[in-house]
Amino acid sequence: MCPGAVSTSATAYREAWRRALEDPEGFWGERAQALTWERPWERVLDASHAPFYRWFTGGRLNTCYNALDRHVEQGRGEQAALIYDSPVTGTVARLSYRELRDQVARFAGALAAQGVARGDRVIIYMPMVPQAVVAMLACARIGAVHSVVFGGFAPHELAKRIDDAQPVMVISASCGIEVQRVIPYKPLLDEALELAHHRVGRCIVLQRPQVAATLVAGRDLDWSEAVAAAQPAACVTVEATDPLYILYTSGTTGKPKGVLRDHGGHAVALAWSMEAIYAMQPGDVFWAASDVGWVVGHSYIVYAPLLAGCTSILFEGKPVGTPDAGAYWRVVEQHKVNALFTAPTAFRAIKKEDPAGALIARHDLASLRTLFLAGERCDPDTVQWAQQQLRVPVIDHWWQTETGWPVAANCRGLTPLPVKPGSASVPVPGYDVRVLDDSGSAVAAGTIGNIVIRLPLPPGSLPTLWQNDEGYRDSYLARFPGYYLTGDAGYIDADGYVWIMSRIDDVINVAGHRLSTGAMEEVLAGHPDVAECAVIGVGDALKGQLPLGLVVLKAGVARPHAQLRQELIERVRQQIGALAAFRHVAVVTRLPKTRSGKVLRATMRAIADSQGYAMPATIDDPRALEEIAAALRPLGYAEGVRT
């Protein structure tokens, strides 16, 4: 769907969108000139192995050089590159571009001294501290491939990623800090290393004052000692198509998928996105209130702001509770933030605690030009509340771990467009977004279908999965040949605006975190009393979705259901992590299925969310749906459900 119906005043946007699709090599070749290359590319777009496209083949560069050294050499050495703000420790620290470059170079030397070399994988399992950013950039500096794992993940999940990435080193910290508790990381890491089949030879551990980690002799190194003994490392030039990082995202099978990101296309797309989408200029202050463990943290805490010469905020806190629902406004005022990027979940939490905006009124937010929201679809009420309270444009936009940067957005640096609350706005230049029905045919404007992107994907998007080309093809390309399957359902309206309505698979979105119901089902099924189970995502006013478990017990099990539910909840917390927000389990006598044995998850979701549904023609026994509704009502679901 071409956004041709967008207002004719949107000339800069429409021209960029048209040219990026009609002349991608010319368009992206020009964007790439903003970076420093050691050797220019031979081909901007290499389609010789389609559908595995590559960008800037033959070109050589270093991402860390472009993010740090380049700015120092061009006179921005004393500008703040990173502002670390940690209300949980009472710390505010500023690192200039020169200081950050020097710390990264020294830590890169520490990695090299331990034998880490170009192409080696390094897992980073750290909290929101500057050293996490240093570790990522240090890997990029020497051509190593980093894989950041969110500190909230349980040992079982960390072990999966260790086995898949096969790192030569893990970088961690002694603890993470939540609102009211300290979480020791080292015991989790030690357990993961024991669970993993792949043996990791070296770990570097940052000792935080809140907890002292016990180091394993011969394997673990203290961060400070490793850095003190190291010499600064120079940038290692790599191919534009070499991997920069692996970021794991949940798959429907429970097996993590390693999204691969390259150096060249990633740097080009992210640097341009800061100007075109977020309207940021060198020296501006950008705050992505996310975590480095997620793609938003990779793209818009670390790489994009630094590539663009901006100042980036690294916030170790929460939207509420550190100390209250005014935390964000204190940061905006104190650090003169120009653009804030966060998840709708954060604003729903703030709105719940401060509905009248009393805490907002206490702060001078004159520096704030724009609020950007992403992570899950933002409900119109939240957009409108934020607009009324902040009196700045509130821009909902849509993208994925796989794309690495926005697919649909109101490009503030090109031509700002009218905001339609509930819509992610229009396709970003480089993305040809379409809506197809299940047979692969295009649907009319306003008709819900499968949201896809015509190939090739633009620079910055995943070229494939880590060591899994077949999985990339099967997961994203096979269903609609010539298109990338986003996994989202929605529509494009007559004005060219994209509306994301739901997921089309069983990966659920909890507060912006994509989690696999299949992985949770594996955990529940492992309980000795459970015969079979299903996990569905149900609507939640704060987090967008929450997982809801339904379990069928083995014959003869007569234990109290309350005790069993608590055991199942604790199992998920231990094996998936607290971020799954798994709190509700219903014990049922059977799961509704088709005659072929397929569990009717979509129908159960409709029942749980109190929506109308059509009785599936292939259902084995319609009474099973009535039983599901009865079991869910005591949990606060399935109220007034009807067929």
Q: b/e string for 102-120 if b means 16 or more Cβ within 10 A?
A: bbbbbbbbbbbebebeeeb
What is the per-residue pLDDT for 516?
A: 65
What is the per-residue pLDDT for 380?
A: 79
Query: Rounded to whole angstroms, how far apart are CA atoms 482 and 504?
Result: 19
Q: What residues contact residue 21 under an 8 Å CB cut-off, 6+ apart?
A: 429, 430, 432
What is the per-residue pLDDT for 643?
A: 44
Amino acid occupying residue 168: V
Contact between 266 and 91 (Cβ < 8 Å)? no
Contact between 474 and 435 (Cβ < 8 Å)? no
* Helical (H) or strand (E) element with 394: strand 394-396
Kindly tell me the burial class for residue 331, based on how many C-beta atoms sit within 10 Å of its own C-beta (0-12, 13-18, 19 or more): buried
Query: Rounded to whole angstroms, how far apart are CA atoms 126 and 186?
Result: 10
Place of tokens 């109101």: 410
628's tokens: 């599901």
What is the per-residue pLDDT for 507?
A: 60
Query: Rounded to whole angstroms, how far apart are CA atoms 485 and 600?
Result: 22
Query: Rounded to whole angstroms, how far apart are CA atoms 76 and 68?
Result: 9
What is the per-residue pLDDT for 506?
A: 60
Contact between 484 and 453 (Cβ < 8 Å)? yes
The alpha carbon of residue 270 and the mean position of all alpha carbons in its chain are separated, in whole angstroms, by 15
172's tokens: 């961690």
Q: Which residues of the chain have pLDDT under 50?
A: 1-9, 252-253, 596, 643
Strand segments, DSSP code E, in 393-541 are: 394-396, 408-409, 426-427, 433-436, 449-454, 483-492, 498-503, 507-510, 513-516, 530-540
Contact between 234 and 245 (Cβ < 8 Å)? no
Task: Give pLDDT tens digits for 211-242.
Answer: 999 999 999 999 999 999 999 999 999 999 99
pTM of the model: 0.84
What is the per-residue pLDDT for 170?
A: 98
* Helical (H) or strand (E) element with 500: strand 498-503
Task: Give pLDDT tens digits for 98-127.
Answer: 999 999 999 999 999 999 999 999 999 999
Query: Rounded to whole angstroms, how far apart are CA atoms 171 and 362?
Result: 40
Query: Rounded to whole angstroms, how far apart are CA atoms 536 and 607?
Result: 11
Task: Give pLDDT tens digits for 299-331.
Answer: 999 999 999 999 999 999 999 999 999 999 999
- Three-state secondary structure call for residue 55: strand
Nearest to 496 by CA among 436, 551, 588, 433: 433
Contact between 351 and 343 (Cβ < 8 Å)? no
Query: Rounded to whole angstroms, how far apart are CA atoms 385 and 377?
Result: 15
Structural domains present in the chain:
507-635 (3.30.300.30)
Q: What residues contact residue 302 under an 8 Å CB cut-off, 6+ apart?
A: 67, 133, 136, 137, 292, 312
Helix %, strand %, coil % for the chain, to 5? 30, 25, 45
Kindly tell me the burial class for residue 248, based on how many C-beta atoms sit within 10 Å of its own C-beta (0-12, 13-18, 19 or more): buried
Q: How far is CA 414 from CA 398, 534, 602, in A?
A: 17, 46, 40
What is the per-residue pLDDT for 230?
A: 98
Indicate the pairing of strand 238-239 with strand 449-454.
unpaired
